[in-house]
Amino acid sequence: MTSNVNIGLTNVGPETHPLTWRYTKAGKAVVEIKEYEAMEGYAALKKAVTMQPTDIQAQVKAANLRGRGGAGFPTGVKWSLIPMGADAGQKYLVCNADEMEPGTFKDRMLMEELPHQMVESMVLAAYAIGATKGYIFLRGEYVLAGERLNAAIDQAKAAGYIGENILGSGFNFELHVHLGAGRYICGEETALINCLEGRRANPRTKPPFPQQAGAWGRPTIVNNVETLMNVPAILLRGADWFKGLSQGKSTDSGTKMYGISGKAKITGLWELPIGTSCRELLYTLGGGMADGLGLMCWLPGGASTDFLMDEHLDLPMDFDTIAKAGSRMGTALITVIDDKQNILSVVRNLEQFFSRESCGWCTPCRDGLPWTVKLMESIEAGEGQEGDIETLHQLTRFLGPGKTFCAHAPGAMEPLQSALKFFPEEFKKGIVQKGIKA
C-alpha cells in the first residue's frame, strides 16, 4: 500500500524536491533501472567517479547536509574523520535502515518507492569515503523494501554500477542488504554494528567512534537512509543550490521529509523546505485536526523527543530551533495528540515502549525504565503515592544525558520530562491525597 506522499504539493521537480521528485513525477514506485536512468538516475555517480573522493566530501560539507537519522550531525564532517589514502585499508559504509522510532515512516517510503536512488547513494557515498563494501542494515519487517533493494542491486550490478572497476574508475564496491531481527536498539549506530557482526545489539563505548573503529574493527561510516539519499542531488546541482532549498526558512540546508501521524485529518509524508513550521504542515497540508478534536500537544520527531505545545506551532522545524524550544527535531515526523487523550496514558505507553526496548546493558536504564512504567501506571490509575512525582523528576535526571551507556534512556526521558513540565496538574490528579483516591 502506497503512502500519502506530497499530497497537495504542486510543481514537484528535481530543482525543489531532490528526494521524492521521481516518485511524484512517475506517480508510482521507480523500480526499473531504465526508468530511473531516464530521470537523471546514476548521473551523479557518473559525475562522482571523475572527481577526487575528498572533493566530494568537501562538497557535502559545504552543503551543510546534517544527519537525518535524528541527531543532525553534519555528514561532511563525519566523512572527513575517516582515514583516507592508500594505506587506510578496508573501510565500510553502513546505511542505517532500521527505522523503528515510533511515529516514523519515511525511510520505508524512500526505499520502497525509490530503491535505485538508495543504491546510487550508497555507491556514491562509498566512493567518497573509499569503502569497498557496503551494507544496508534493513529492519526485517520491511519485506517489500528488501525485495526492491535486492532487485535494484542486481540490476545495478548488471549495468556496471556495482562490482569491479565501476564505470572504468578503478573503484570496486560490493553492496549487501543485511536484515535485522527486531529490537529498536539496533538503530543506535554502535549497537547496529554489533548486530551486523552477529552479536547481541548492545551499544559500544565511544570513543572509539565508528569512523575510527567500527565494523570488524575497521573504519566505518553509518548514515541514515534519508541522509544518504540527498547526496546524489548535492553532487549534481551543487552545495549552494542545496543550501538555497530551505528558501530562507532556516539556516539548515536542503529539504526534509516531514510527516504526520496521529489525530490529524490527513496523515502522510511530505518533502518540504527544511524549516517549514508545524502549523503549515499540520493545518495546511494535514488539513488540521481530525473532526471534533483540538490539539493537546505534539511530538516533533518520534517517541524520544519532548512534547511541544500550541505555542510552538509557528517555529521553523529545524535542528537548532526545535532544540532551543526544549525538544529535538528528531526524525521530523510529527505525532499529533488530541485533547481527548489522557496524557498520563500516552506517557505510560511511551515509557512501556522504551522499557521493553532497553537492551539491559546499563543499570540506570535497565532498572529505571521499568520503575518509570510502574510509577506511571499507578498515577494513571489514580493510585500514585506522595513523592511519586518527585521520583519521576529524579528519574529524568538519573537517566538523563551522560548518565547511561547510550542515548536510549535519555531519549526515553524526553517525553516524560516535558509532560511533567506542561501537564503538572494531570500528574497531581493521579496522586492519592490523604488516603483518598483521585
Partner 1 sequence: MLTANSSQTIATDRGAPFVLTASERESIEHAMHHYADPRAATIDALKIVQANHRWVPDGAITAIADVLGVSAADVEGVATFYNRIYRKPVGRHVIAVCDSTSCFLMGFDQLYGALQQKLAISPGQTTPDDRFTLLPIVCLGACDKAPVLMINDTTHFNVTAENIDSLLEQYK
Ligand X SMILES: Cc1cc2nc3c(=O)[nH]c(=O)nc-3n(C[C@H](O)[C@H](O)[C@H](O)COP(=O)(O)O)c2cc1C
Does position 101 interact with ligand X (CB under 6 A)? The reply is yes
Q: How far apart are CA 194 and CA 409, in angstroms?
A: 19
Do the beta carbons of residue 135 and residue 173 sit within 8 Å? no
Do the beta carbons of residue 351 and residue 412 sit within 8 Å? yes
Strand positions, DSSP E, 199-320: 220-224, 255-262, 268-273, 295-299
Site residues (CB under 8 A) for partner 1? Answer: 1, 3-4, 90, 99-105, 107-108, 139-143, 176, 178-184, 195-201, 215-216, 259-263, 267-269, 299, 303, 333, 335, 337-338, 341, 346, 349-350, 352-353, 356-357
- Residues near ligand SF4 (CB under 6 A), total: 14
Strands 92-97 and 295-299: unpaired
In the stretch 337-376, what mask flags binding to ligand SF4 with x, by CB under 6 A?
Answer: ---------------------xxxxx--xx----------
DSSP state of 209: P
From partner 1, ligand SF4, ligand X, none, interface partner of 358 (C-beta below 5 to 8 A by class)? ligand SF4
**Which listed range, 113-121, 217-225, 231-239, 365-373, lies at the site for ligand X (CB under 6 A)?**
217-225
Does position 118 interact with ligand SF4 (CB under 6 A)? The reply is no
Q: In angstroms, what is the minimal distance from the CB of 179 to partner 1?
A: 7
Choice from 49, 56, 222, 406 touching ligand SF4 (CB under 6 A): 406
Q: In angstroms, what is the minimal distance from the CB of 77 to ligand X?
A: 10
User: Residue written as cell 529498536?
Assistant: 184
Does position 215 interact with ligand SF4 (CB under 6 A)? The reply is no
Does position 409 interact with ligand SF4 (CB under 6 A)? The reply is yes
User: Residue written as cell 530511473?
Assistant: 36
Q: How far apart are the first and last CA of the chain?
A: 45
Q: Residue 13 or residue 217: which is nearer to partner 1 going by CB?
A: 217
Does position 407 interact with ligand X (CB under 6 A)? The reply is yes
In terms of Cα–Cα distance, which of 301, 221, 219, 211 is closest to 260?
Answer: 301
Q: SS3 for 259?
A: strand
Q: How far apart are CA 115 and CA 393, in angstroms?
A: 45
Does position 136 interact with ligand SF4 (CB under 6 A)? The reply is no
Does position 162 interact with ligand SF4 (CB under 6 A)? The reply is no
Does position 406 interact with ligand X (CB under 6 A)? The reply is yes
User: Residue 66: beta bridge partners?
Assistant: 74
- Phi, psi torsion values for 5, nearest 5 degrees: -125, 130
Q: Say how many C-beta atoms besides its own lie within 10 A of residue 202's C-beta.
A: 17
Q: How far apart are CA 315 and CA 278, in angstroms?
A: 7
In the stretch 66-95, what mask flags binding to ligand X with x, by CB under 6 A?
Answer: -xxxxx-x----------------------
Choice from 6, 223, 276, 404 touching ligand X (CB under 6 A): 223
Cβ-proximal residues to 412 (8 Å cutoff; 6+ apart), any chain: 304, 350, 351, 354, 355, 365, 369, 372, 399
From ligand X, ligand SF4, partner 1, none, interface partner of 73 (C-beta below 5 to 8 A by class)? ligand X
Q: How far apart are CA 185 and CA 354, in angstroms?
A: 10
Q: How far apart are CA 199 and CA 202, in angstroms?
A: 8
Q: How far apart are CA 272 and CA 12, in angstroms?
A: 10
From ligand X, ligand SF4, partner 1, none, interface partner of 3 (C-beta below 5 to 8 A by class)? partner 1
Q: Residue 101 or residue 113: which is nearer to ligand X going by CB?
A: 101
Q: In angstroms, what is the minimal distance from the CB of 359 to partner 1?
A: 8
- Phi, psi torsion values for 91, nearest 5 degrees: -130, 155
Q: SS3 for 308?
A: strand
H-assigned helices in 4-105: 21-26, 33-38, 43-48, 53-62, 75-80
Q: In angstroms, what is the minimal distance from the CB of 96 to ligand SF4?
A: 16
Q: In angstroms, what is the minimal distance from the CB of 184 to partner 1?
A: 5
From partner 1, ligand X, ligand SF4, none, interface partner of 148 (C-beta below 5 to 8 A by class)? none
Q: Residue 203 or residue 300: which is nearer to ligand SF4 going by CB?
A: 203
Which residues of this chain interact with ligand SF4, rule CB under 6 A? 185, 203, 358-362, 365-366, 404-406, 408-409
Which residues of this chain interact with ligand X, rule CB under 6 A? 67-71, 73, 96, 98-101, 185, 187-189, 222-224, 227, 406-408, 411
